[in-house]
Structure 1
């Protein structure tokens, strides 16, 4: 039972009614409290108490106060006596609860199989849901042992029915191929190769992925069956097969083996298709980037940019008019010398049509000699679709390329019906369309193919063209909630917006007018912000003044280092688990669990430590604890997966929130900051990219950290991925009790579309803008031209409210998809990029974002306190990033794996290890500061700068010893 209750909860669940008091008339006074507690506890949980420790103090005191008796009366109440058992029967009769019969057990089993397990509910989750069913049916809640037996039996029956359904739809030839795959014979693909992720971009990776896809497609899996199943229900079986070797899969009985492999291959097919699309996108991108890089390198070798071209042109024209009969050398050269004119010519060639032609020439050479061998393989393996007729020409062009792939003709007559409009951009038509000797236009075959592939890449990235059987690149309509029209009002209510677009718009207009008016009136007196008149950069903000140094913070850190000198980081992880119990979330993906929980706990802690420090499992195996590498590897494969790690992280974060002393850390916050950090990583995979800002190959980890250094969410991302999508995902998907209504980001975590979605989802986006000098404020309406005279220099056009009104329902639909989790935020935001600027919903979101951003800019410019708040929040994330390298020190801090799953698990293990450090440090700091001497010594500046993310007293190295009986000397927290 929960330990902390607020007043409203006590009043709701623990208040005795008149009828409840009436039951006490025929009972001894000493039993009144015990009977009442049993009654209210059964009404709350559906269970009877068996020991006095099962009830927490607040409800006990609340009921005792109503009865006007002492709490000590409860200690003498005997639950197992004849009186106690009679009271239980009386409570059941009073509440109309029937005894559990075999009929009820059968009905409960049917309910689980038909309505619960097909949703992906686990056994532990089903046990939690069981109470509502028994309460609704007014049937006595069974004992824990009986309930677990009933749930496990129902799950086994559900699983058998599901497996049999798959087996019935699998063809015999498919089963034979599956066996060949496991046996590693020549007629099939090796099972290990099927499990492998794509390698780096190249011909070998493409051919390997195409071969795997063709093998799975040849099995003719029951796609309809799998597509109607809940993805969460299938994921468990997919993880189960992924963690097993081919030999272990063969050990399963045929009715289980073929069903598990069917689910696994269905998932792998979607992943392979997504991987092929990513390979295609990167291949086409690499074609252009390499060509431009090569050409720029050639141009820059003897190129110097000419500045002041407009003035130079005026001076040349003036000199020519004054002496029209003179020679160029006598008239023009004195104004612009020969070197200047040569540089001017080179600059034009490097930016005009000549530049594009040279780039295309290099692209053509690379494509014709190398990439043309792999692209047709990808196009042949994938089925492209689009729900918009506007993009039909691109699909027709792909069909023509596939149909004529064996045709060696270099030039194609223009009158053969090959689509040009909607496929070839205007600036590229000059390199695609050429004239023959007779002056007739014809199509350059290879140049046309290159332009088609570039157009396809752009459409795939914004999902205007999608692929059959894909997951990330699936039909964008599947990303939206299917029942939106039926539950439209419920979804609007969930987001907190009116179904009337005019009411929604009026609220934003009023907020814009109010914010602009307040800024307009306050800007003349604002000494920190100046509005200039110097072209595009018209806003100037004075930097912050340095804050006072905290006088006692350094001494506090020395005190902690003195009391807990060189505390082992492994002991920190162990202490957090012994207090919080986060290892309980790690369940096996197999069908049964053999290890006892104590042995499993030890192995899990060592696994998590080896992964979180990046030292690896071999480095923490053996030693004095006697656990081998193979034993750790078994636990890692069977027990450690993303969902368990995220649940463990959420539990530790919630524990930090619950143990915090408000006198030390202040009241709970609803604000969070997010930022990314680059980690080096192996590059034989599709996740690793070259970082354009920081340089080097690697991946990005995007952190969400609240103001007192508790990280509530982390994500592994590509270096080029959208930080806006990562920001939104963290706010919506974090597994903690924290409610976020203010989100701090840097310039890369914001955009106009981001402002729009954050407003629709109900939280404020507060970015620190690097390009603040060039920002503009939008007008709430066209009549507001003279309404804000002090802001005229930074004002621009009015918002197009009509477009927002027209697309209001669509915008809410996409926001609902984000909140309900029907699609990944990055999949949703793919549609709303500058590549898809003609999409009406994108344009509406952009207009809404401009309005919301204008409101934010008014607050940002008008309040130095808000600017400081944002800066402080982002500094906390920077501090979190600084501790990453201290913990993730193994292998040079590089993510040393090419498997995407292993990369994600390493990041989550680092997150768990670091948040456990924050948890233990919080306890240590609070223990020191509860002493009167330290409490009186701390000043306001010390509390302002106080952070639990310190590690000068931590030792992450050395011999790894795990003694479960040795505890850190920290006082226990209730």
Structure 2
């Protein structure tokens, strides 16, 4: 069975605000007239109106005993009946008559066989796409409501959904089973058995995790991919199952052990194994490409570091060479003067001048007459290691001029050479454009990989390489063009990495590195969406119109800033043309605000974390989302209690063993680990966070801090062990770890989090976070720091209707773009250095629209596209178009940024909130020294979600306590100003207890949020 709390099946809330009662349960004049025309007597009229309003809200007829007394009293008062007017039917015939009348009045049909057929059809179609019973039930509910049918009882609908889902799944399982022969079936089932010589089953080998991208680990993972591929082309066997359902079945198999899989029927067992194999084949390819890219980046960094060391040594060598050259010059100058003086006094004795343009040597003149000069030079050279050594040092110094680290790459590449060759042979690499030069070069290198000669014949074109590479690789030998083999290999892998990042080369059977164009919405499907999309965002729906709109926007903004320059006292351009933004001083807290904060800190009640989680769950019921991945109700005892203890354990990073030691007799470490593994997932944690955020958004106090229309995005490092793929050394923070990238609302609540690698650009995820945010708080303005912006991000955010307003540290170094070459500004002309290429935007208008509509319809993620668009590509038209569009949008923002001090203040205020949230959330992540001890990327992501769940729960409790304190202060006559409350941060931890024995009391309930109420500002 599926719990009703996990579905959208309508039911009465536990608490109601006066606003909700007035808006939802107040009968209209026509409804009151309908009641008086249908029945007689105050009791019957009350019964009818209560049932009518309840049916309008729920879609079905509840038992009158289940209608909350608060609703009944509200309706009774609106009908102006005496409080003694009783609710309840004396006979059932009157109840049935009232129900028939209500259906007729609301034009709703009774649930019947036709309604059941509609529900079965809707669930059957959806069950081929999704698998969670709660989601399927929501589909049935929505379809019945759309067709104006009364909802059946929850158990009736639950049985229908589970029966249809089971039928659909069994058909899929049997279909898959019929496609495989008996030998292959035996081979798959053999994965579940442990053989005497092995420590674990082969089924566990399917779950092998990627490690750090070392040479040995890459080799091991290539072997793992080879083994996975040896299990067959699984995709063909699963061709009738949607990708979403394959991932669901794979996730279910991933958390199960081999003996648990054996409990399923044969068709389901085989299908789950195949789904896990398919997903692991895809992710293993992704992981191998990621390992390769990280290792190539590491090779480049090592070469650059080596170059810096060489440059330091070369500096010493250059100083020595300068000394040698100086001594040599002295000798030649002295010798020249000596010869010149001899020429004047004895011209007949000098037969050869070293300084003649065309020296002639008489036949009878011996060369040993110049021996003193050569001896002097030789003494100089010998004193510094000899002429040959000095010549070599000159060549080395000359080779590395201009910061050219390319000659050094081979030194660090050669140890990975054989591994990289095995890697590219294991992957099916394809060009996503008509240009095949890099692929051809890769095949050429592979064909010559067995050679040991220094040179190979130049039989391919290398028009894709830079001039630096060309000078290093291409040589002329014996009148023929040849390639220096070693440097050619490094060059090809260098460009292979670049084109994998930019999407110019894809990997068949991959997901992150697949051909992204195949994932986009076809243009014919985009066409019907364009007009509505442009209308919603206020864009012209033609390419030329859009370009004119951008020109006008840029021109007007620049003219406004130019004309207002003389009145702008916070921005100046110095005499040498350098722009300067004057610093503004932070506003000090008023005396009344300081007094109010002190009073609040004095009165806040002491709380412990487990009690806070229990209270917040009572108010929001966020634990309803946790349960088995199958969607069934949990079969564990005291499920809610265990979910709260698991949230506390992992949210505070204690780990099950340490937490269980502080919960003697309450729960064991094994139980905590089991619940985390089997009942919690990333999606379930996100859904729980949404419940807290939505209920938080209804509270009165957060509205003082912001409207929820803006948010800030920023990342902070969490330490990881080194032996996993995500862990990377962070230059700014130091140490190995990953980045928890948060989007935090201006109302202080964390909306969404993503766990990314330290080497990944944070800007890629700034838009993706907004699209993953499913809460009621939907910001349209996003702030970030310097790392959260780039021209493609500015372009894409603008096209999605998002205002990107980052705090850019190095804004002076960014280019401002003119609308055209003829435009000259009176005051700010020195800011502008380049011109927008409007033709490029107009030409690729269709490509830009296709990208945006693909993201909006969920066909492809913004992070996937930005990963491609943020890497240079000479072939990708999309990259060039977004770069140009982003230049327009960023120039407009920069102009607004430098001219509006209040905008800068607002940006700083919101970005300060997200930075404060990092500190607040880490305060609760106190276990294990703050190190995430998991190497599984899914568990790493879950750790961050757990942490956010605890942090948001404490934030919720703090706001409730703050509201209660402020309300009590008002009762005591304390005057509270809105301005003073606005500067109070809810990130308060001084009253929260983290340590000691952890106990949970499920019998004590907090006060209702309605009892706390609101407060009125003075």
With the shorter chain as reference, the TM-score category is 0.7 to 0.9
1:231-270 residue pairs with structure 2 within 5 A?
Answer: 231-270=243-282
Q: Alignment partner for residue 773 of structure 2, among 725, 729, 734? A: 734
Alignment match of 2:517 (pick from 477, 491, 499): 477
Counterpart pick for 2:225 among 196, 213, 219: 213
Q: In structure 1, what is the equivalent of residue 553 of structure 2?
A: 511
Matched, 1:411 2:455: yes
**Structure 2: gaps of 5 or more residues:** 1-11, 320-332, 339-354, 356-383, 385-390, 1014-1018
After superposition, residues 478-557 of structure 1 pair within 5 angstroms as 478-482=518-522, 483-485=525-527, 487-493=529-535, 497-534=539-576, 538-551=578-591
Asked whether the 8 Å contact 1:479–1:828 carries over to 2, the reply is no
Residues 1:283 and 2:324 are matched in the alignment: no
Q: What SS does structure 1 have at the residue aligned with 2:753?
A: strand
1:303 CA drift (Å): 3.1
Pair 1:135–1:765, CA change in 2 (3 A): closer
Q: Does 2:712 correspond to 1:673?
A: yes
**SS of residue matched to 1:466:** strand
Q: Give the superposition deviation at 1:681.
A: 0.9
1:746 is aligned to 2:774: no
C-alpha deviation, 1:496, in angstroms: 5.1
Q: Specify the SS of the correspondent of 2:868.
A: coil
1:52/1:75 contact within 8 Å kept: no
Deviation readout 1:16-40 (Å, 9 max, x if unpaired)? 6969945742411523354245345
Pair 130,346 (structure 1): closer, same or farther in 2 beyond 3 Å: farther
Alignment RMSD (CA, Å): 3.7
- Alignment of structure 1 residues 18-97 onto 2, 5 Å: 21=33, 24-30=36-42, 31-39=44-52, 41-43=54-56, 45-51=58-64, 54=67, 69-70=80-81, 76-78=87-89, 81-92=92-103
Query: Which residue of structure 2 aligns with residue 452 of structure 1?
Result: 492
Work out whether residues 651 and 946 of structure 2, in 8 Å CA contact, stay in contact via their aligned partners in 1. Answer: yes
From the superposition, tell whether residues 961 and 299 of structure 1 become closer, same or farther in structure 2 (CA, over 3 Å). Answer: same
How far 1:72 moved relative to its partner? 5.3
- Alignment partner, residue 332 of structure 1: none
Alpha-carbon shift at residue 519 of structure 1 (Å): 1.4
- What is the CA-CA distance between 1:906 and the residue it aligns to? 0.5
Distance 1:861 1:71, change over 3 A: farther
* Distance in 1 between residues matched to 2:220 and 2:170, nearest whole Å: 35
Matches within 5 A, 1:109-128: 109-113=120-124, 115-120=125-130, 122-128=132-138
Which deviates more, 866-875 or 824-833? 824-833
Q: Matches of 1:494 and 1:168 in 2, distance apart?
A: 49
Aligned mates of 2:68, 2:850 — CA distance in 1? 45
Residues 298 and 405 from structure 1, CA distance in 2 versus in 1: closer, same or farther, beyond 3 angstroms?
A: closer
1:296 maps to 2:335: no
Give the equivalent residue in structure 2 for 1:899.
936
Q: 1:876 to 1:132 in 2, by over 3 A?
A: closer
Correspondent of 1:878 among 906, 910, 915: 915
State the partner residue of 1:314. Answer: none
- Structure 1-normalised TM-score? 0.88
SS of equivalent residue, structure 1 residue 830: helix
**Aligned counterpart for 1:645 among listed residues 685, 688, 693:** 685
- Look up the match of 1:105: 116
1:948 aligned to 2:948?
no
Who is 1:432 aligned against? Answer: 473
Contact 1:609 1:913 in 2 (8 A): yes
Deviation at 1:454, TM superposition (A): 0.7
Q: 1:626-662 deviations in whole A, cap 9, x for unaligned?
A: 2111111111111111001111111111111112337
SS in 1 for 2:716: strand
The structure-2 alpha-carbon separation of the partners of 1:217 and 1:634, relative to structure 1 and needing over 3 Å to count, comes to same
Query: How far off its partner does 1:275 sit?
Result: 0.5
Structure 2 residue 871 is the aligned partner of structure 1 residue 829: no
Q: Is 2:443 aligned against 1:443? A: no
Residue 442 of structure 2 corresponds to: 398
Question: How big is the shift at 1:443?
Answer: 2.1
Question: Once the 2 structures are TM-superposed, how far is the Cα of residue 928 of structure 1 from its aligned partner?
Answer: 0.7
Give, in angstroms, the shift of residue 355 of structure 1: 5.1
Name the residue aligned to 1:372: 417
1:551 to partner: Cα distance:
3.2
The structure 1 residue matched to 2:502, chosen from 440, 458, 462, is: 462
1:921 paired to 2:958: yes
Q: Which residues of 2 match residues 759-774 of structure 1 at below 5 A?
A: 759-774=798-813
1:626 aligns to what SS in structure 2?
A: coil
> Is contact 1:674–1:702 with CA below 8 Å preserved after alignment?
yes
2:827 aligns to what?
790
User: 1:504 and 1:363, CA in 2 relative to 1: closer, same or farther beyond 3 A?
Assistant: closer
Match of residue 745 from structure 2: 706
Change (3 A) 1:774 1:96: closer
Distance 2:608 2:25 in 1: 44
Contact 1:15–1:63, Cα closer than 8 Å, also in 2: no
Contact 2:474 2:482 in 1 (8 A): yes
Q: 1:715-734 alignment to 2 at 5 Å?
A: 715-734=754-773
Number of matched residues?
A: 933
Spell out the pairing of 1:850-865 with structure 2 (5 A cutoff). Answer: 850-865=887-902
Cα distance in 1 for residues equivalent to 2:93 and 2:758 = 69
The answer to which of 562-571 and 186-195 deviates more is: 186-195
Render the CA deviation track for 1:179-207: whole Å, top value 9, x for unaligned: 23222447997222221211111233223
- Of 471-480 and 218-227, more deviation after overlay is shown by 218-227
Pair 1:398–1:485, CA change in 2 (3 A):
farther
Measured in 1, the distance between the counterparts of 2:534 and 2:241 equals 28
Identify which of 608, 611, 626 aligns with 2:647.
Answer: 608
1:489 Cα deviation after fit:
3.7
8 A Cα contact 2:473 2:488, kept in partner:
yes
Conserved in 1, the CA contact under 8 Å of 2:706 and 2:746? Answer: no
2:974 aligned to 932, 936, 944, which one?
936
> What is the match of residue 133 of structure 1?
143
Partner in structure 2 of residue 336 of structure 1: none
Please state how far the C-alpha of 1:432 moved relative to its aligned partner: 2.0
Residues 808-855 of structure 1: CA deviation (Å, up to 9, x unaligned) = 221122122233332232210122124215533222222222222222
- Of structures 1 and 2, the larger Rg is shown by 2
Secondary structure of 1:784's match?
Answer: coil
- Describe the shift of the 1:149–1:494 C-alpha distance in structure 2 as closer, same or farther (beyond 3 A): farther
Partner secondary structure for residue 790 of structure 1: coil
Residue 583 of structure 1 and its aligned partner are, at CA, apart by 0.5
Match 1:162 to one of 163, 167, 172: 172
Q: Tell whether the 8 Å contact from 1:166 to 1:222 is kept in structure 2 after alignment.
A: no
How far apart, in 2, do the equivalents of 1:349 and 1:425 lie? 22
- Is contact 1:688-1:697 (8 Å) kept? yes
Q: Give the equivalent residue in structure 1 for 2:695.
A: 655
On the 8 A contact 2:250/2:279 being kept in 1, the answer is yes
Q: How much has 1:177 moved relative to structure 2? A: 2.6
Relative to structure 1, the CA distance from residue 179 to residue 761 in structure 2 (aligned partners, 3 Å threshold; closer, same or farther) is same
Deviations 1:32-56 (A, max 9, x none): 3542453455355421132366479
Structure 1 CA distance, aligned partners of 2:397 and 2:53? Answer: 79
305 and 607 in structure 1: CA distance in 2 versus 1, 3 angstrom threshold: farther
Note the C-alpha offset of 1:902. 1.1
Equivalent residues in 2 for 1:803-842, closer than 5 Å = 803-842=840-879
For residues 628-643 of structure 1, the aligned pairs below 5 Å read 628-643=668-683
Structure-2 separation of matches of 1:900 and 1:518 = 49
Return closer, same or farther for 1:304/1:570 CA change in 2, 3 Å cut-off: farther
Change in 2 beyond 3 A, CA 1:8/1:579: closer
Among residues 358, 381, 389, which one is paired with 2:426 in the alignment? 381
In structure 2, C-alpha distance between the alignment counterparts of 1:80 and 1:325, rounded to whole Å: 132
1:683 maps to which of 722, 744, 768: 722
Distance change in 2, residues 1:819/1:192 (3 Å) = same
